[in-house]
Amino acid sequence: KAGVTQTPRYLIKTRGQQVTLSCSPISGHRSVSWYQQTPGQGLQFLFEYFSETQRNKGNFPGRFSGRQFSNSRSEMNVSTLELGDSALYLCASSPYFGTDTQYFGPGTRLTVL
Amino acid sequence: DAKTTQPPSMDCAEGRAANLPCNHSTISGNEYVYWYRQIHSQGPQYIIHGLKNNETNEMASLIITEDRKSSTLILPHATLRDTAVYYCIVRPFTSGTYKYIFGTGTRLKVLA
């Protein structure tokens, strides 16, 4: 079974631009979570989705948003990029919501110049 | 959510067992202990989890103390490919959320 896939793997943007990252969960998985990883703050929870509904959100500004589609694929969007948004963005999936092990994708490395 | 404390770094000789400790003294009765590892700039990889009994799989063993206030992840025969940051996480079994709270983890270096 294929793992979690994230596209693109690497991305370079400039300040003020917006970006959309994509995550395809493991086949059959219905829950998707997103995390941001930076050297200074480590791994931090962004939000999670199940059945196209956002179930929980971390402590990030409104510039960070996401959505989940009926096929469980998820996207996250960051608007008005700042230098501090440079990070590894990780997506994780699990079969259901809140009770199972979640499996991480390889991440998208975003660099903001 | 219960907090975890791990040593920032450890070294282990290749072929020897690597024992990674984790302190979770505020763990609740319904909270599981999960271990993940992250090899440089890749996504975290699930290793093992447990509630109160010791667990073993093809990757590792998890030893949880009787009072559940600490645990040890054991890699029985460490290889160079086991060099990674290891994260210990506690989360409720029926939390209704995947809001994993990652600490700073233990950076394990396996030496040839």
Residues B19-43: what's their mean pLDDT?
A: 91
Amino acid identity at B60: A
DSSP state of B44: P
Hey, what are B99's tokens? 């809001």
Please tell me the predicted confidence (pLDDT) of residue A87.
Answer: 97
CB contact under 8 A, B95 and A109: no
pLDDT exceeds 70 at position A109 = yes
Let me know: does B20 contact B10? Beta carbons within 8 Å. yes
DSSP A80-94: S--GGG-EEEEEEEE
* Per-residue model confidence as pLDDT tens digits over B52-82: 889 999 999 999 999 999 999 999 999 999 9
Confidence category of residue B34, pLDDT binned at 50, 70, 90: very high
- Distance (Å) of CA A43 to CA A15, A28, B32, B105: 22, 26, 19, 10
CB contact under 8 A, B97 and A99: no
Rounded to whole angstroms, the Cα distance separating B93 from B70 reads 18
B99 contacts on A by Cβ (under 8 Å): 33, 45, 48, 56, 58
B87 contacts on A by Cβ (under 8 Å): 43
Residues A26-40: what's their mean pLDDT?
A: 93
ω before A8 within 30° of 0 (cis)?
yes
A98 contacts on B by Cβ (under 8 Å): 94-98
Which is nearest to A75 in space by CA: A35, A25, A26, A20?
Answer: A20
CB contact under 8 A, A103 and B46: yes
Task: Give strand pairing partners of A30.
Answer: none
